[in-house]
Amino acid sequence: MTICIGYDPKEVAAFAVARHSIRKFDRHVPIRGVVLDDLIRRGLYNRPTKMKVNGDGKVEIIDELSIREDYDGRISTQHANARFLVPHLVPGGWVLFIDSDTMFLKNPMRLFDLARKDKAVMCVKHDHKPDYDKKMDGQLQTVYARKNWSSVMLFNCDHPSNRRLTVDLINTIPGRDLHRFCWLEDYEIGALPPEWNYLVGHSKLENGTTPALVHFTKGVPDMAGYENQEYADQWRAMLPYAVGAL
C-alpha cells in the first residue's frame, strides 16, 4: 500500500498539509510525491507543454494535447495529467493518489479496506458541475465528464485493464479523456463513499456522516479569498507542523 500526492512548486504548503494529515494516522505507510520534473527526467512524461505568463504576471501551463475550440489547454497544476502515471511508479498492489489540496480527517488506511480486487480504479463518483469560472488563485475552472473523480483515486496496479494505461497513451491523448478513465469500462470503476472526497463548498453528506477527507477544490485556505471556508481552521492549525516536517 502506497500513497502518492500530487506536487506543484506553487503549492508546497498544500502538499505539506496533505502529507502531514496522513502521518498523523500512520507514520509508516510509504508516501511519494508525483513530481513533474522527476517524471520528465525518467522519460515517463513527454506531453507537449508550454509555459506562458499571463497579464497578472503568473505562469500558466498549457497542455497542447487538450486544446480545443472552446478550451485553450490551460491546466491548474503540474500533476493535472501526470497523476495517471501512478501505476508506473508502483510495482504492484494498491496505490492511493490524492490531490495536494486535500486533508485527511480520518485514517487513510480505512480506504484500503474498501478496495475490491475486481475493480481497476475506485473513486468518489461526484456529480460536480461548478457554477464558478475561476479557482485556485485565479486559475481557469474547466468542466469535463466525471469532474473530480480523479482527484482521489485508489488504483489496483495488478488489474489487467490498467495495462491499457500505457505511458504512450498518457502522453498522446487529451487530458479530459484521461480524467474520464477512457481506458476502462464503466463496471471496472468502483465507487468509494462520498466522505472520502468531500468537496468543500459543494459536497453534501447525509445521515450524520462526517468527512474523512476534505478537498479544497476551489483553493486552499492560505490563498486570498479562501481563508474562511469550511475546515480552513483545521488546515491552518496543521500548517506549521506540516511545513516544519518538510
Alpha carbon distances (Å) from 63 to 33, 175, 212: 21, 8, 32
Please give the pLDDT value at position 188. Answer: 98
- pLDDT at position 243 is 84
Report pLDDT for 129: 63
Measure the CA angle with vertex 156, ends 117 and 153; round to 5°. 115
Residue 139 CA to residue 60 CA, distance in Å, equals: 8
pLDDT digits (tens, 9 = 90+) for 99-144: 999 999 999 999 999 999 999 999 999 885 665 455 555 455 466 5
| pTM of the shown model | 0.91
- Alpha carbons 17 and 13: distance in angstroms, whole number: 6
Residues lower than pLDDT 70 in the chain = 128-144, 246
H or E element at residue 61: strand 59-63
Q: Which residues, 6 or more positions from 57, have their beta carbon under 8 angstroms from its beta carbon?
A: none
Return the pLDDT at 132.
46
Domain 2-44+81-132+144-244, second-level architecture = Alpha-Beta Complex (3.90)
pLDDT of residue 142: 63
168 class by beta-carbon count within 10 Å (0-12 exposed, 13-18 middle, 19+ buried): exposed
